[in-house]
Amino acid sequence: MKFYKESITKTYNILLNKKVENINHLIPSNYENINSATGYKIAYLSDINIFLFRGLVHGSYYLYDKAICNKKACNFLSCTCGFHAFKDKKRALVELSKHIGTIMLEVELYSDIVIHQFGYRGREQDIIRIFLPDKCSKFLCSNPTSGLYLKDKCYQTICSEHKNTFISIKELRISFGLDVLVLPSEY
Ligand SMILES: [Zn+2]
Ligand SMILES: [Zn+2]
C-alpha cells in the first residue's frame, strides 16, 4: 500500500481547470496508516446483468475492479490511470445533478492511492453502496423514484406512473448484494 502526496492530477486539472497552491491541509495526518479511501463518484449503470458501470468521461468497470494501464511503463504517481473519486459526497452530488441518467456510487479505493485536491485516485476499486436520484428521470416528472429502467444504453430512474415494469429498488439490492438507496429529496 502506498499513499502518495500529489498536488492535483492531470485529469482533474483538465476537467476542472483549477490550480491549487497548497494541499497539505487536505491530506490526513495519519495517511501512512490508511489502507483504503472512501470516496464518491457518479457513473452510468450500463449493464445490470454483469454489473457494468461506465464513467462520465471514459472507461467502464465492474463492482470490484483493478485498473489496467495502457502505458508500457506505468508510474502510477505521474500517470492518470486508475479510479477517481471525490472525497466529498456533496461534490459528487453536484455532479449528479448536472448529468441526466447518472447514479452515485460510494467506493473504496485501495492498493496504490493518490490523494489530490478533490479526492483520490486508486489502482483498485470496490463499489460499496449505490445511490439513486430521488426523482423520476422522465422530462418534467417530479414523482419519486420507484426503480430503474433501461434507456439510451443506461439505467435511469423511473416512477410507477410512467412505467408498469421496471427493476425495483428491492430487486436491485438483491441482485447487487449491496445497499441501494434513494437519495433524500433535499440534496
Ligand atoms: Zn498508468
Ligand atoms: Zn415519472
* Domain boundaries along the sequence of the chain: 2-130
Q: What is the pLDDT of residue 37?
A: 84
Measuring CA to CA, which residue among 152, 39, 11 is closest to residue 105?
39
Which residues hold their Cβ within 5 A of ligand 1, which is an ion? Answer: 69, 71, 74, 79, 81
pLDDT digits 0-9 by tens, 121-152: 998 999 999 999 999 999 999 999 999 999 98
- Amino acid identity for residue 101 in this structure: G
Q: What is the pTM of this model?
A: 0.82
Residue 168, classified by CB atoms within 10 Å of its CB into exposed (0-12), middle (13-18) or buried (19+), is: middle
Query: Cα(37) to centroid of ligand 1, in Å?
Result: 19
Query: Cα(76) to centroid of ligand 1, in Å?
Result: 5
Query: Cα(99) to centroid of ligand 1, in Å?
Result: 27
pLDDT digits 0-9 by tens, 85-100: 999 999 999 999 999 9
Measuring CA to CA, which residue among 117, 111, 92 is closest to residue 19?
117
Any idea which of 9-13, 153-157, 170-174 has the lowest mean pLDDT? 9-13
Cell of 15: 476537467
Measuring CA to CA, which residue among 187, 170, 41, 176 is closest to residue 102?
41
Q: pLDDT averaged over the chain?
A: 83
Cell of 21: 497552491
Query: Cα(77) to centroid of ligand 1, in Å?
Result: 8
Query: Cα(3) to centroid of ligand 1, in Å?
Result: 16
Query: Cα(86) to centroid of ligand 2, in Å?
Result: 29
Query: Cα(69) to centroid of ligand 1, in Å?
Result: 4
β-strands 52-54, 60-61 pairing: antiparallel
Query: Cα(66) to centroid of ligand 2, in Å?
Result: 36
Query: Cα(160) to centroid of ligand 1, in Å?
Result: 44
Query: Cα(75) to centroid of ligand 1, in Å?
Result: 6
